[in-house]
Structure 1
């Protein structure tokens, strides 16, 4: 059993998360997607930790390539399961046990298994993540997702061309298309933070702003269209439209660089429409 943690300009909180992860897995592969003096200093204490290996990439190669680098190393070390995390997620005690307890619920066709999500800013479990036991899901976020060797050898690794957003949707939908059942386990909860999570007030309610860069919004827009063209809308697009509407409401009302963000999203839309299956 191996864990993979993707680091991008990390701070020292990543060390606590890795320590918590080590309590549940045999080895952890930390992929540094932001090489440089600052990241090297933060990750330096890991050099002396047994069962931890830091993989230095040549630059920011994206979420897909980063996760894949760690997954390949884990599979080469004969791991039967690989458990992946962003640096801004907190591993809960006994989380792995809870995920594994549902692996056989749907027989050999169990696909990707992930925990319920709780907003790190508020401590509230998202409405769609409330429940008991486990339930089928078409898509799961990358962080906290558990992959079996069997699944990865069947459907392949993450699509590195997509770079960042919807990389998780893509691999989940590929698993579903191959006949696997992805599961969300409600018996364990992952604290996760999306973007900067800067607070603001909308109609008397506190909301949190992701403040994604124009480049990030370009990838979101492009990859959303590519995913729609690859798989169609069934099982994911309706929920995604609602999430996107809320995100853009906050961008228009509160965030800076609205013009450049809108222009980047429109470029992404155009590039997604022009995409062809051979254009990776």
Structure 2
């Protein structure tokens, strides 16, 4: 173990760019832990067979993010890592991204002892600040804290996996952080969003499938009740507002697409 962090990714129908990033990460000497939710497509498994630094896991079917992230984190922890940097499969990064986050971690180990996770992103200041919520992609997970939380909640499939971790951390007294100005971090280019020009401003939106909307709504409602049950009423209110905004945008983007409103890039 020469590097201080590992990288984890959960894949589903992996594309060429993801395979390139996996090779890049392994070539940089960073161990990669991959959970494959589409094992019938063999490209990731075949890549791992030729790269000892890429550790491949699957359960033979799509079990979602909760199981996938828990698996890569638990295995990295078992093999001696204290921190794992997680990326969505459609998040771009490069060697500078990995070095920046690793150096940030090494230089601040003592300062981060009460954090369960810190989300790194492209925009904002290069300063860690406490935040109430974070998303999975770009998050550096501190594995001893996640083990105490019994990893991520595997009853969540895709949506709200990250927000449930935030609630669990809040209940346990762990901090959640965010740090900006991360070089090479790209959570935009490979996203399937369309751009809409409204009142001089550009908005990125996507019309999700009805099954995805159903999962989002049901997961958020479940999370809201979990927050209320643990007397985290401010957290419950925050998720309620986010869910209302999400539903409003899903309605708007369908209206825009149907009527052909506003210029799209």
Normalised to the residue count of structure 1, the TM-score between the two structures is: 0.75
Contact 2:9 2:87 in 1 (8 A): yes
- Give the equivalent residue in structure 2 for 1:121: none
Change beyond 3 A, Cα 1:47–1:154: same
Task: Output aligned runs, 1:66-85, within 5 Å.
Answer: 66-85=68-87
Counterpart CA distance in 2 for 1:202 and 1:210 is: 15
Question: Alignment partner for residue 105 of structure 1, among 96, 100, 111?
Answer: 111
Task: Output aligned runs, 1:18-167, within 5 Å.
Answer: 18-22=22-26, 26-36=30-40, 39-41=41-43, 44-92=46-94, 93=96, 94=99, 95-105=101-111, 108-116=113-121, 118=122, 125=123, 130-167=124-161
**Structure 2: 5+ residue stretches without partners:** 258-265
Counterpart CA distance in 2 for 1:23 and 1:138 is: 35
Counterpart CA distance in 2 for 1:242 and 1:5 is: 26
Counterpart CA distance in 1 for 2:161 and 2:215 is: 10
Give yes or no for the alignment of 1:234 onto 2:234.
yes
More strand by share: 1
Aligned with 2:208: secondary structure?
coil
Give the superposition deviation at 1:210.
2.3
- Give the equivalent residue in structure 2 for 1:268: none
- Give the equivalent residue in structure 2 for 1:214: 210
Deviations 1:70-125 (A, max 9, x none): 2222222222222222101123412222244344225x322211202x4xxxxxx3
Change beyond 3 A, Cα 1:35–1:255: farther
Give yes or no for the alignment of 1:15 onto 2:19.
yes
Task: Output aligned runs, 1:165-184, within 5 Å.
Answer: 165-184=159-178
CA-based RMSD: 2.7
Count of aligned positions: 242
- Give the equivalent residue in structure 2 for 1:261: none
Counterpart CA distance in 1 for 2:28 and 2:103 is: 8
Change beyond 3 A, Cα 1:228–1:102: farther
Question: Alignment partner for residue 187 of structure 2, among 192, 203, 224?
Answer: 192
Give the superposition deviation at 1:228.
1.7
Change beyond 3 A, Cα 1:4–1:88: same
Contact 2:120 2:140 in 1 (8 A): no
Contact 2:136 2:162 in 1 (8 A): yes
Change beyond 3 A, Cα 1:248–1:229: closer
Aligned with 2:203: secondary structure?
strand
Normalised to the residue count of structure 2, the TM-score between the two structures is: 0.79
Aligned with 2:177: secondary structure?
strand
Give the superposition deviation at 1:242.
4.8
